[in-house]
Amino acid sequence: MNPRRAVVAGIDLGGTNTVFGLIDGAGRCHATGRLATDSHQELSVYLQRLAAAIRHCLADRPDLRLQGIGIGAPNGNYTRGTIEHPPNLHWKGIVPFVAEFKKHVPLPMALTNDANAAALGEMRFGAARDLTDFLVITLGTGLGSGIVSHGRLVYGATGFAGELGHTIAVRNGRRCGCGRRGCLETYASATGLRRTFLELLSRTDTASDLRAAAPADITAAAIARAARDGDAVAIRAFRRTGEILGRQLADSVAHTSPAAIFLLGGLAQAGELIFAPTRRSLAKNLLPVFQGTVDIRPSGLPPESAAILGAAALIWEELDR
């Protein structure tokens, strides 16, 4: 009989920083820690320090018992436990993250990409607790997505299912980092909003406060501020972004018929500026049989801890099975 409280480590591996929390089965965070990601050229050194940071955290909390580790990482592959060709990390190629980290911490461990982790977090601790079929869309630099069907995350044959950011929104449209053209994430993301805003600036001479700004200062946050202040070009940029996102999501609904689509990530913080046009466009483009069956909703988790809660949910799900 162990009187200590069972927790898992939920790790959010980002390009700049790695943040982790010790999370119990109810989603309470008992301790947190962090480590720079980008200063570690060597995976082995990084993993050693990450393990040490977690152990250090646990040493302060004898009331906790670590049961497992969940990791959300860009380009994370759940099936293989790898991070594959991450564009913003020092480690290149196929990084055998789970296999290597288990050498430092011999516990149950699972890894997936950040959007999948977000979906699991929403299902276990957030606004999708009563849902078995839903989508999570993360609108950050790119567009990530997690698909849940029958209460399980869809990983597909490769472990890479849920790449809605790379469905084609505009045939022969904008160039995408993936080498193709017209991918949804080149329109519906913080970067996409910025491209749309600059395009609108170049195509019209509508007044905008941001005309005086250096292009580098025209961030998604700056466009959101301008839109809230009534800037017509900024408002149009949000409207256009939501229009494209909503119509593309209509195709996603035709695939898995979710009861809800959660919009998360930096761009979702713009609130109704992005939610309203996305909702309108989804409703307009939906097949009749799906009308009224799917809502667009905000996350039920605090933005600052959503990622570590998602990573924790991933491994709690494994432990509960």
Q: By rule CB under 8 A, what string of x and - marks binding of each residue 79-118 to a copy of itself?
A: -----x----------------------------------
C-beta of 13: minimal distance to a copy of itself in Å?
A: 19
Query: Applying CB under 8 A, does 319 fall inside the site for a copy of itself?
Result: no
Q: Is 259 in the site for a copy of itself (CB under 8 A)?
A: yes
Nearest to 11 by CA among 302, 265, 310: 310
Query: What's the DSSP call for residue 188?
Result: S
Q: Are 7 and 56 in contact (CB under 8 A)?
A: no
Using CB under 8 A, which of 87, 93, 156, 303 touches a copy of itself?
Answer: 156
Within 188-247, which residues bind a copy of itself (CB under 8 A)? 247
119-151 per-residue burial string, b: 16 or more CB within 10 A, e: under 16:
bbbbbbbbbbeebebbbbbbbbbbbbbbbbeee
> Which DSSP helix (H) or strand (E) runs through 71?
strand 64-72
Q: Is 127 in the site for a copy of itself (CB under 8 A)?
A: no
Span near a copy of itself by CB under 8 A; candidates 13-21, 116-124, 165-173, 266-274: 165-173
3-class DSSP string for 191-255:
HHHHHHHHHHHHHCCCCCHHHHCCHHHCCHHHHHHHHHCCCHHHHHHHHHHHHHHHHHHHHHHHH
- Please answer whether residues 105 and 44 qualify as being in contact, where contact means their C-beta atoms are separated by less than 8 angstroms: no
- The one among 12, 114, 163, 243 contacting a copy of itself by CB under 8 A: 163
Spacing of C-alpha 262 from chain mean position:
11
| The one among 255, 271, 302, 303 contacting a copy of itself by CB under 8 A | 255
Q: Which is nearer to a copy of itself, 72 or 162 (CB)?
A: 162
311 phi and psi, to 5 degrees?
Answer: -65, -40
User: Hey, which residues between 46 and 65 contact a copy of itself (CB under 8 A)?
Assistant: none
294 is an interface residue for a copy of itself by CB under 8 A: yes
Residue from 37, 252, 278, 305 in contact with a copy of itself (CB under 8 A): 252
Cβ–Cβ < 8 Å for 268, 91:
no
Residue from 4, 56, 129, 180 in contact with a copy of itself (CB under 8 A): 180
Residue 164 binding a copy of itself, by CB under 8 A: yes
Site of tokens 């906790």: 64
Single out the residue of 91, 290, 298, 319 in contact with a copy of itself (rule: CB under 8 A): 290
Q: Select from 56, 93, 293, 303 the one that contacts a copy of itself (CB under 8 A).
A: 293
Q: Which of 166, 125, 139 is nearest to 261 (CA)?
A: 139
Please report how close the Cβ of residue 226 comes to a copy of itself at its closest, in angstroms: 29
